[in-house]
Amino acid sequence: MPKMSLTDLRRILVENAGEVEGTQLDESLLDVGFEEIGYDSLALMESAAAITDEYGVEVPDETLADLRTPRQFLEFVNSAPVVS
Amino acid sequence: MNKPVWITGVGVTAPTGLSRDEHWKATLEGRSGIAPLTRFDTSGYPSTLAGQITGFDPAAHIPKRLLPQTDISTRLALTAAAEAIENARLRPEDTTDYDMGVVTSNATGGFDFTHREFRKLWHQGPRSVSVYESFAWFYAVNTGQISIRNGMRGPGNALVAEQAGGLDALGHARRTVRKGTPIVVTGGVDSALDPWGYASHISSGRISRTTDPARAYLPFSADAEGHVPGEGGALFLVEAEESARARGVVPLAEIAGYASGFDPEPGSGRPPALRRLIEAAVADAGLRPADVDVVFANAAAVPEDDVAEARAIREVFGPGGVPVTAPKALVGRLGSGGGPLDVATAVSAFGADTIPPTGTDIEVPEEYGIDLVGARPRTARLGTALVLARGIRGFTSALLLRNPPLH
């Protein structure tokens, strides 16, 4: 399975939860909280199913609460076991 | 003490236009929004027409983050709410959040959104179903989204009473203002013109099978054979008189009277609730029937309902005693949006001293005894307007608007 990059995360969030107007998810936001960026927990849940399809990684709802920033999110996805 | 409650802003999304003014212009010209339904292939359905909103670009009105989580009905509601807020010159960001409430009505929920998620459920499995389905389908979603988008954290309610619910929302908004919330966004919007939603309209047994858009919805006609479902509605800013005065905003109308009830059980032998509710709404405004200048009829175009409505109007106002109009014949029946759209039309009528037309010449049976305003508008000084709504299975409401004296 390919590794997930910040660009991939941005694409998946925009496709599934919509674009935050006036915000481009780039390196400067790696350690900024998702809430602050404009994505709430539902936006991440909505994107999680697409991540499973694309990367074969499950992101359980209860884990999502701990993945507060893009960096933490990418680290989790890229180190989690591939299940499908 | 029942303090005056004013409408200070109006927003419309309707098959006749995407603003209050567009809608009013089309209504005066008798331009119909009823046409063959184009959103999906209707072959195989016994009916084919709808009052469809065309030319609505959601991305032009709705933040991109809200697009994946909203049904078309919610997008229309957010758009109408924005117009009403702007029309009333309210800046929600500068207003105390708990001083602004939201009361909306909805009858069919997020049909189109849900129909797509069901398709995903059966074709791709449960994991593919959007988390946003959890609220996008729900009758209260418009209240919630309007509240969140505008930072309105005062009382929030949703009322469900089919076609009557939209008037109930305005009635409850008035109550909410009188209980101390100075500003309330209220009204109703519905849309269910996807393959599943349209099928459920048809299941009511009240949808016209006529294919000619000009002949499909003829309220109070001897040829009436049902209505056409439509989408859209209207939202308002409703405000305490002292709040509007403090903001320097003039009233567009006063919600002067309101009454709501339910028909007796079929076979009980007792009359429908409508007459009693007309009298109650008029009395609630401190007026007499002779003070009512125009009636916006429920206009079911189902013969037994037309007979019952004509009788109630005739009994209260006398034969031909008040002009009756049904501009909804140009848009179809909008569920919870129907009453509010009539209220928006009445507000425009106040400003123009004009009774809007039903939009087509209708031969009303003599025995109905009502003076129906037909194809053309009628000039009249309007001090008051009575809006009637009857939902299927008995929901009935009446709302009396007063044209405020010039300030």
At residue B2, does pLDDT exceed 90? no
Degrees, nearest 5: CA angle B152-B157-B162: 130
Determine how many CB atoms are found less than 10 A away from the CB of residue B46: 10
Which one of B62, B65, B69 would you mutate to disrupt binding with A, by most A Cβ within 10 Å of its Cβ? B65
A34's CB contacts (< 8 A; 6+ apart) are A40, A43, A44, A67, A68, A69, A70, A73
Determine how many CB atoms are found less than 10 A away from the CB of residue B153: 15
Under an 8 A CB cutoff, do B66 and A18 touch? yes
At residue B127, does pLDDT exceed 90? no
A49's CB contacts (< 8 A; 6+ apart) are A16, B127, B128
Residues of chain A positioned with their CB less than 8 A from the CB of B130:
46
Interstrand relation of B183-190 and B232-240 (parallel, antiparallel or unpaired): antiparallel
Which 8-state DSSP code applies to residue B154? Answer: S
Determine how many CB atoms are found less than 10 A away from the CB of residue A34: 21
Pull the structure tokens for residue B42: 């209707």
At residue B190, does pLDDT exceed 50? yes
Which one of B75, B131, B134, B149 would you mutate to disrupt binding with A, by most A Cβ within 10 Å of its Cβ? B131
In B, minimum Cα distance to A50 occurs at B128
Give me the mean pLDDT over the B289-296 stretch.
Answer: 98
SS3 of chain A: the string is: CCCCCHHHHHHHHHHHHCCCCCCCCCHHHCCCCHHHHCCCHHHHHHHHHHHHHHHCCCCCHHHHCCCCCHHHHHHHHHHCCCCC
Output the pLDDT for position B204.
94
Distance CA B343, CA B12 (A): 10
Which one of A42, A52, A58, A64 would you mutate to disrupt binding with B, by most B Cβ within 10 Å of its Cβ? A42
Lowest mean pLDDT segment, chosen from A60-64, B40-44, B182-186: A60-64
The upper half-sphere exposure of residue B173, i.e. CA atoms within 13 Å in the direction of its Cβ, equals 35
Q: Model confidence over B265-287: pLDDT tens digits?
A: 989 999 999 999 999 999 999 99
Domain boundaries, chain A: 6-16+28-79
Give me the mean pLDDT over the B15-39 stretch.
Answer: 98
Q: How confident is the model at residue B42 (pLDDT cuts 50, 70, 90)?
A: very high
- Phi and psi at B108, nearest 5°, equal -120, 0
Instruction: Give percent of chain B above pLDDT 70.
Output: 99
Output the pLDDT for position A82.
86
Q: What is the dihedral sign for C-alpha B313, B314, B315, B317?
A: positive
ipTM confidence score: 0.90
Output the pLDDT for position A83.
80
- Per-residue burial over B2-11, b if 16 or more Cβ lie within 10 Å, else e, is eebbbbbbbb
User: Please, what are the domains in chain B?
Assistant: 5-247 (3.40.47.10), 257-402 (3.40.47.10)
Under an 8 A CB cutoff, do A20 and B131 touch? no
Output the pLDDT for position B1.
54
At residue A31, does pLDDT exceed 80? yes
Minimal CA separation from A79 to chain B, in Å: 22
Output the pLDDT for position B180.
97
- Closest by CA to B234, choosing from B323, B296, B304, is B296
Distance CA B225, CA B164 (A): 21
> Which residues 119-178 of B have a C-beta within 8 angstroms of A?
127-128, 130-132
Determine how many CB atoms are found less than 10 A away from the CB of residue A23: 15
Give me the mean pLDDT over the A5-31 stretch.
Answer: 95
Cα–chain center distance at B395: 14
Minimal CA separation from A61 to chain B, in Å: 11
Q: Model confidence over B222-275: pLDDT tens digits?
A: 999 999 999 999 999 999 999 999 999 999 999 999 999 999 998 999 999 999
Under an 8 A CB cutoff, do A17 and B130 touch? no
Output the pLDDT for position B407.
46
At residue B178, does pLDDT exceed 90? yes
At residue B406, does pLDDT exceed 90? no
At residue B96, does pLDDT exceed 60? yes
At residue B165, does pLDDT exceed 90? yes
Residue type at B321 in one-letter notation = G
Give me the mean pLDDT over the A57-67 stretch.
Answer: 92
Instruction: Give percent of chain A above pLDDT 90.
Output: 80
Nearest to B131 among A21, A38, A42 (CB): A42
Place of tokens 């031909």: B320
Minimal CA separation from B123 to chain A, in Å: 15
Nearest to B63 among A16, A21, A45 (CB): A21
Q: Is A17 on the interface with B (CB under 8 A)?
A: yes
Give me the mean pLDDT over the A45-73 stretch.
Answer: 93
At residue A84, does pLDDT exceed 70? no
Which one of A24, A36, A46 would you mutate to disrupt binding with B, by most B Cβ within 10 Å of its Cβ? A46
B253, β-bridge pairs: B7
Under an 8 A CB cutoff, do A19 and B128 touch? no
Under an 8 A CB cutoff, do B131 and A52 touch? no
Instruction: Supply the CATH classification number for the domain A6-16+28-79.
Output: 1.10.1200.10
Q: Model confidence over B359-378: pLDDT tens digits?
A: 899 999 999 999 999 999 99
Output the pLDDT for position B399.
98
- Phi and psi at A40, nearest 5°, equal -90, 180
Determine how many CB atoms are found less than 10 A away from the CB of residue B241: 17
Q: Is A49 on the interface with B (CB under 8 A)?
A: yes
Under an 8 A CB cutoff, do A42 and B66 touch? no
Is there a contact between B289 and B280 (Cβ–Cβ < 8 Å)?
no
What element of type H or E holds B283? Answer: helix B274-284
Give me the mean pLDDT over the B281-308 stretch.
Answer: 97
